[in-house]
Amino acid sequence: MSNEVRVRYAPSPTGHLHIGNARTALFNYLYAKHFDGKFIIRTEDTDEKRNVEGGEESQLKFLKWLGLEWDEGADIGGNYGPYRQTERLEMYNNYVNELLEKNLAYKCYMSEEELEAEREEQRANGQVPKYSGAHRDLSQEQIAAFEAEGRKPSIRFRVPAATTYTFHDMVRGNITFESSDFGDWVIVKKNGIPTYNFAVAIDDHLMEISHVLRGEEHISNTPKQMMVYDAFDWKAPKYGHMTLILNEDRKKLSKRDEHILQFIEQYRNLGYLPEAMFNFISLLGWSPVGEEEIFSQEKLIEIFDPERLSTSAAIFDQQKLKWMNNEYIKASELDAVIELAMPHLIQAGRLPEDMDEEKRTWAENVISLYREQLRYGAEIVELTELFFNEHISYDEETMEVLREEQVPEVLQVFTDKLIHLDEFTKDSIKAQFKATQKETGHRGKKLFMPIRVATTGQMHGPELPFAIELLGKEVILARLDKVLKQLGA
């Protein structure tokens, strides 16, 4: 094995790219790029029952959307292929045969019913269920009898007795397992397909993987993989197991948790920026030096330090993600913000797909009003509601503003000023605020708040003169007239 850093992300094509899997890929990517190594994608597709059509393509599509590029993989090739496990079956068979010849593995003919009965008996006796080794030393006559019955064997690894397995985890330090914790485990299923732990160990060795960064749920898999390495007298890679991602209730992030969106595709569809998602995910279980939290991908590669991988669970903070995405939106060019938000207004039926130039310019101006507030693209639909509702209603809070004694005078004077405007632009409208202030003597909140509430139905919002311009003279005068009539003015 060379001294080059070679890491891998090994997805199963069982569905869309999950947040947890995206983090695994991202940390491996950062590790490889920081140490000038190679980042490899290997597709673990041997569990055909769980594979879904298009699963591999979806995984790769959204890794690319996040900004990850790999050096080797099924889609681009490389010197260590094939990069799909189903295309490596012959390789696995060669190593299985070697283990059988060395008596380090054996055929087990127990049926699933027999195995379950064995497990039930162990549970009833207060034991942790594990394979008893019943078929560990079958005679040729017993094997022949099982074959005659038509039984198909699985192949089990012969776990060494009284052996300690210790590895130094990059996150957690030394971790130790005893071989007595494990029964002889299956390396090839009855259908001839190798199991995860066996195939992974073979692949990692043949692809010269130097470091394995993965989730903590894989810790218990590590000793099994180390057994395979020992059986072939190979050097094991260095392992690092990242902590769990928890939701805001500090429960494990589960694909069944409906309070948090689970898949990268969902965030893309809602109008989150890939750069923001990359930045946010990089801080789920890793922390940089200092208080800063906004980093470009290039900066993250530069500062990534595996020593700062957290030993505490990461909390998926949805509000922090929205804040971070807003920071990226504010830093984006206006054209990019418009491109992000416009499809959501079209999808919501607020705008037609085919707009003339005047309508498109108007829509772009409406979006530009909310550039500083927008946290994700789809939020534009809610934020811009006042521009698409023909009628607005006033709740108790806004009515409280409109009941103030100066309001009829302010709204009447402001209405009179607008009626005589030839050019209905934000600059000319702004001038009428000043003229209304001069004529009525009211200023500040006493002036601006009733006008904002009457024209938009909101207590807070975007730049008011521009909003009034975009709503249009006819709409604004109708709203002011309606309020004045309600107030009996």
- Residues marked as catalytic: 255
> What is the distance between the alpha carbons of residues 384 and 375, in angstroms, rounded to a whole number?
13
Both tokens assigned to 340: 């992000």
Torsion sign across C-alpha atoms 259, 264, 268, 274: positive
- Sheet of 186-188: strand order equals 105-108, 154-157, 186-188
Exposure of 443 in the CB half-sphere (CA atoms within 13 A):
4
Q: Find the DSSP H helices in 191-234.
A: 196-206, 222-231
Whether a cis peptide bond, with omega within 30° of 0, leads into 408 is no
Chain centroid, CA 280 distance in Å: 9
243 contacts: CB under 8 Å, gap ≥ 6: 171, 216, 285, 310, 311, 312, 313, 314
Answer for the pair 5, 37: CB distance below 8 angstroms, yes or no. Answer: yes
Alpha carbon dihedral 363, 369, 374, 376, in 10-degree steps, equals 10
Neighbours of 344 (CB within 10 A): 22
Q: CA-CA distances (angstroms) from residue 310 to 95, 171, 186, 212?
A: 37, 7, 33, 16
Q: Tell me the two tokens of residue 170.
A: 């990059």
Return the bridge partners of 108, or none. Answer: 154
Q: What is the dihedral of CA 196, 201, 204, 210, to 10 degrees?
A: 130
d(CA 9, CA 62): 14
Residue 216: DSSP 8-state: G
Name every residue whose Cβ is closer than 8 Å to that of residue 302 and which is 6 or more positions away in sequence.
34
Amino acid at 378: A
